[in-house]
A and B are shown apart, each in its own frame.
Chain A
């Protein structure tokens, strides 16, 4: 990841992308030709240059890393019957996988316990280890070459201790970022890349259970095509429901964002009205809904509005309705439109306090002289509201508006806890109020269609990423990021 991004920021500067790559390689040649015998040896044996310069600790560190990685690559440690190392690379094409066949990497045949998802996972880990190997290789040459140069000008090569000290000063960012990078690489980037890969396979738990194996193969872009053509096992289901779900996701995101946004601003203005007493009490009441975990508050609402809940009973007893209303589409025959309206309304209950809280902070920061000047000019309170307060709040919170739109597209809790995606469609995973994310959840976690779930996930990513990048790139926060500091 690090090496890929290296060229990007220099694009606009000297030489461009290819220039910096060229420089990168000419640097290698230069170091090999100009370097001492130790540096030359370092190209093959890690740490050789450091030993040559009597930096034993550093040299030993490099050597241990090389030996460890090479051992990993050659000895191929096995977990759950699936190997790492070079065998993992050989497994990666999933080539010898045929229905029911079981591949044993040792004999070239399949063995019991072979698991294609682990083959892909371990293959990716092995590729990452190879990349790390070359990064260490480069660092080890660099370290040796630097010692060469120090010698040349008569300086003593830096000791390991001095190097460690720079990690707390000039190179402090490396120390600070390493834990996050390792954690995020292993548990965020790797799983994401792995799921993207699954989108191109035939992996789903139903076929696996039927066949009684953990073997599957690459499937090209067929899973993506089935969204439009309706081919494949889940094809028709995906094709018929994809556009409606996508459409509803957008409608939901627009309504959920705007209702909570303007509702929150209005609420904040009401609470902050001059002369109003008990501001703190009102604010605390609304903050309660933020503080109470959503699975509690939303499930409470769900039961309150349920078939036998108080709301239906009250409506029945005053004679407004005869049968209980299915507000939240929990049964297939319930109204889809009503369920959609209800989730948007209940979501206001959850979301408005949040915007209220945020706007309150902003309202207090509006420069008082703006109002002063307006008052001198004889502007009315209404006019001041529409000409000063509202534009100011909207201007400040535009980035929030965008991020909350994207957040709402991926808003899982509101839908899952209230309607569970219902009303259900006969034979389809996606119900009437399902968003792309809740559909993705049902398809992967509930039904085990990992490849289809990954396809939905990738589409979701493409849509949200496009919206975010287009608006974010134009925003002030991004373009003037440096000036803020």
Chain B
């Protein structure tokens, strides 16, 4: 009896394991489908090319999940269309966003790294108060000061300037990057892990703090630099509230792409028949961002995990 028990137990265990693996696969596949449905639907809508019997194009949300006909009409329309009185508005919005994202990325990454390095590796009197103040400022809802930033930028002509509507872009870059230095916590957590002994020994060799930062810290900080750059570059593509308020509803030529796409469906002149064009725009915006994320996944995960542990 007892001799027979063991192999049976092992057998039943391995069967149990197979059953539980099977259940896991099922759950994961079902969840994956749920997670993909809305995204797949947007992509399908972007390629939808259906006409009514009288020949008018159907651009609104339709009840069929899968299109009856496919084509590139939405994309070609999107690129050539005039929205809100701006000819070729979509390429223009893409360009605006690219400019804003690129400049914001450089400024924000620089500010975050410099603050994080100070907080982690330099000793000075106001270090702790600075960290506390940064945290308290971060607790004010950003929507509260948003309108004040608009007033402020407007008073110096960096937005809502009838003579130079393009200055709004500078205003938005300033608004995005100005507060970024206060979001140093994740990068600081990263610097904290770099051994202090490294810094101390460099100091004994007569290195200045600037040299230590440039020659020792920066080369080691590649993952966090990439993480910060990724975050600040993708930020302007994802945000639309700040951009909408700072650039202003009456300045459609200098909108970012998210404000523009949102306004196709919910703006001052919403048009439900533009849904498929909206979907096409979404696909074009999402492709580069998703590609970036996928290529830099490793660094993103590293940053997210560091942020979780340090809070």
1/0 per position for A398-441, CB-CB distance to B under 8 A? 11101100100010100010000000000000000000110011
The docked-state distance in angstroms from the alpha carbon of A260 to that of B140 is: 24
The docked-state distance in angstroms from the alpha carbon of A293 to that of B182 is: 23
Residue pair B147, A444 in contact (C-beta under 8 Å): yes
1/0 per position for B127-165, CB-CB distance to A under 8 A? 111100101110111011111110110011000000000
Residue pair B141, A440 in contact (C-beta under 8 Å): yes
| A-B contact sample (5 more), CB < 8 A, given A299-B282, A349-B35 | A176-B115, A183-B181, A300-B39, A400-B307, A464-B141
B21 at the interface (CB under 8 A from A): yes
A367 at the interface (CB under 8 A from B): no
The docked-state distance in angstroms from the alpha carbon of A458 to that of B128 is: 25
The docked-state distance in angstroms from the alpha carbon of A390 to that of B207 is: 46
Nearest B-chain residue to A416, judged by Cβ: B241
From A35-43, A66-74, A145-153, A279-287, give the one contacting chain B: A279-287
Q: Which 10 A-B pairs give the minimum distances between C-beta atoms?
A: A399-B311, A180-B181, A457-B144, A361-B305, A313-B63, A191-B148, A187-B178, A291-B293, A172-B209, A168-B210
| Chain A residues whose C-beta falls within 8 Å of the C-beta of B147 in the assembled complex | 195, 444-445, 450, 453
* 26 A/B residue pairs, CB under 8 Å, sorted by A: A1-B133, A9-B125, A168-B209, A169-B210, A170-B209, A173-B118, A173-B127, A179-B111, A183-B174, A191-B146, A194-B151, A285-B32, A288-B36, A288-B39, A289-B39, A291-B286, A291-B292, A293-B234, A293-B238, A297-B39, A300-B279, A399-B308, A416-B241, A444-B147, A445-B143, A464-B141
From A22-30, A48-56, A304-312, give the one contacting chain B: A304-312
The docked-state distance in angstroms from the alpha carbon of A289 to that of B279 is: 16
The docked-state distance in angstroms from the alpha carbon of A312 to that of B65 is: 11
Q: Of the candidates A172, A276, A308, which one forms a contact with B24 in the assembled complex, judged by CB atoms under 8 Å apart? A: A276
Q: Which of B6-36 contact A (CB under 8 A)?
A: 17, 20-21, 24-25, 27-28, 31-32, 34-36
Name the distance in Å between A134's Cβ and chain B's nearest Cβ: 17
The docked-state distance in angstroms from the alpha carbon of A410 to that of B145 is: 14
Q: Which of B60-117 contact A (CB under 8 A)?
A: 60-65, 110-111, 114-115, 117
Residue pair A465, B139 in contact (C-beta under 8 Å): yes
Residue pair B155, A80 in contact (C-beta under 8 Å): yes
From B48-56, B218-226, B257-265, give the one contacting chain A: B257-265
A154 at the interface (CB under 8 A from B): no
Residue pair A475, B181 in contact (C-beta under 8 Å): no
The docked-state distance in angstroms from the alpha carbon of A416 to that of B202 is: 51
The docked-state distance in angstroms from the alpha carbon of A183 to that of B62 is: 48
Interface residues on B, range: 35 or more
The docked-state distance in angstroms from the alpha carbon of A177 to that of B133 is: 14
The docked-state distance in angstroms from the alpha carbon of A359 to that of B126 is: 35
Residue pair B213, A358 in contact (C-beta under 8 Å): no
Residue pair A400, B311 in contact (C-beta under 8 Å): yes
A243 at the interface (CB under 8 A from B): no
| Chain B residues whose C-beta falls within 8 Å of the C-beta of A190 in the assembled complex | 148, 152
1/0 per position for B219-256, CB-CB distance to A under 8 A? 00000000000000010011011000100000000000
The docked-state distance in angstroms from the alpha carbon of A457 to that of B62 is: 40
Name the distance in Å between B241's Cβ and chain A's nearest Cβ: 7
Which secondary structure dominates chain B's binding surface?
Answer: helix
Residue pair B34, A349 in contact (C-beta under 8 Å): yes
Nearest B-chain residue to A404, judged by Cβ: B308
The docked-state distance in angstroms from the alpha carbon of A454 to that of B30 is: 45
A240 at the interface (CB under 8 A from B): no
The docked-state distance in angstroms from the alpha carbon of A358 to that of B137 is: 26
| Chain B residues whose C-beta falls within 8 Å of the C-beta of A313 in the assembled complex | 63-64
Nearest B-chain residue to A199, judged by Cβ: B144
The docked-state distance in angstroms from the alpha carbon of A287 to that of B133 is: 33
Q: Of the candidates B192, B258, B265, which one forms a contact with A293 in the assembled complex, judged by CB atoms under 8 Å apart? A: B258
Partner-B contacts on A (CB < 8 A): 1-2, 5-6, 8-9, 79-80, 117-118, 121, 165, 168-170, 172-173, 175-177, 179-180, 183-184, 186-192, 194-195, 198, 267, 270-271, 273, 275-276, 282, 284-297, 299-301, 303-304, 306, 308-310, 312-314, 349, 353-354, 357-358, 360-362, 396-400, 402-403, 406, 410, 412, 416, 436-437, 440-441, 444-445, 450, 453-454, 457-458, 460-461, 464-465, 468, 472, 475, 477, 484-485
Residue pair A287, B182 in contact (C-beta under 8 Å): no
Nearest A-chain residue to B237, judged by Cβ: A293
The docked-state distance in angstroms from the alpha carbon of A360 to that of B298 is: 12
Name the distance in Å between A457's Cβ and chain B's nearest Cβ: 3
The docked-state distance in angstroms from the alpha carbon of A1 to that of B130 is: 10
Name the distance in Å between A459's Cβ and chain B's nearest Cβ: 10
Nearest B-chain residue to A170, judged by Cβ: B209
Residue pair B148, A194 in contact (C-beta under 8 Å): yes
Residue pair B64, A310 in contact (C-beta under 8 Å): yes
> If the complex has contacts A180-B182, A183-B178, A461-B140, are A396 and B262 also in contact, measured as CB distance less than 8 A?
no
Q: Of the candidates A121, A286, A406, which one forms a contact with B151 in the assembled complex, judged by CB atoms under 8 Å apart? A: A121
Residue pair B144, A270 in contact (C-beta under 8 Å): no
Nearest A-chain residue to B209, judged by Cβ: A172
B175 at the interface (CB under 8 A from A): yes
Residue pair B181, A179 in contact (C-beta under 8 Å): yes
| Chain A residues whose C-beta falls within 8 Å of the C-beta of B64 in the assembled complex | 310, 313
